[in-house]
């Protein structure tokens, strides 16, 4: 679903000095597992996700999500906060992944990633508390008087 680094560099050449959104990801994050590959450590997220490639308009759904390190930390922070309240909690999120010119001399790519969060995590509320707040006050009935 992603774009090759050379394609991303070409996109930036046509938009000098701009941050360019290339991917929108949203869904419900339920778990995070630390993994290691030949390229180093990363986090494998589990849940229900949808990603939209903002260049090709391709849409994909998955139960697994891998993201750049910057987005990884954002999601881990939100999930950790929710799990402190309820260890079975999940979070709903949305974010855009952008590319911008890499002005550093380090690294071989001419771009680096940035993120724009599209949602907050509701202060780590569990799903039932969040739903209760959305539904509003409970319409309790007055108990009949005892005779």
Q: How many residues does the chain have?
A: 147
| Cut 0.85: pTM above it | no
Domain ranges of the chain: 5-128
Which two tokens mark 1? 């679903």
For the beta sheet containing 59-65, the strands, ordered from the edge strand earlier in sequence to the opposite edge, are: 59-65, 40-53, 20-37, 91-101, 111-117
Q: Check residue 142 and give its pLDDT.
A: 66
Q: How many other CB atoms sit within 10 Å of the CB of residue 92?
A: 17
Which two tokens mark 142? 């007055």
Q: What are phi and psi of 102, to 5 degrees?
A: -95, 105
pLDDT tens, residue by residue, 58-116? 999 999 999 988 899 999 999 998 888 888 888 999 999 999 888 776 667 788 889 99
Q: Check residue 85 and give its pLDDT.
A: 83
Helix (H) / strand (E) element for 134: namely helix 127-135
pLDDT tens, residue by residue, 22-44? 999 999 999 999 999 998 999 99
Q: Check residue 29 and give its pLDDT.
A: 94
Tell me the pLDDT band of 55, cut-offs 50, 70 and 90. Answer: confident
């Amino acid at each position: 679903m992603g774009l090759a680094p050379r394609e991303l560099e070409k996109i930036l050449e046509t938009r000098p000095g701009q941050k360019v959104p290339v991917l929108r990801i949203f869904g419900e994050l339920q778990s995070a597992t630390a993994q290691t590959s030949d390229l180093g450590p990363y986090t494998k997220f589990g849940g229900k996700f949808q990603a939209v490639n903002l260049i090709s308009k391709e849409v994909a759904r998955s139960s697994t999500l891998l993201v750049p390190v910057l987005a990884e930390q954002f999601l881990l922070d939100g999930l950790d906060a929710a799990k402190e309240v309820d260890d079975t909690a999940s979070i709903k999120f949305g974010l855009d992944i952008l590319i911008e010119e890499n002005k550093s001399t380090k690294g071989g790519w001419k771009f680096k990633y940035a993120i724009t969060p599209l949602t907050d995590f509701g202060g780590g509320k569990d799903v039932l508390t969040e739903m209760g707040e959305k539904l509003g006050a409970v319409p309790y009935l007055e108990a009949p008087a005892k005779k």
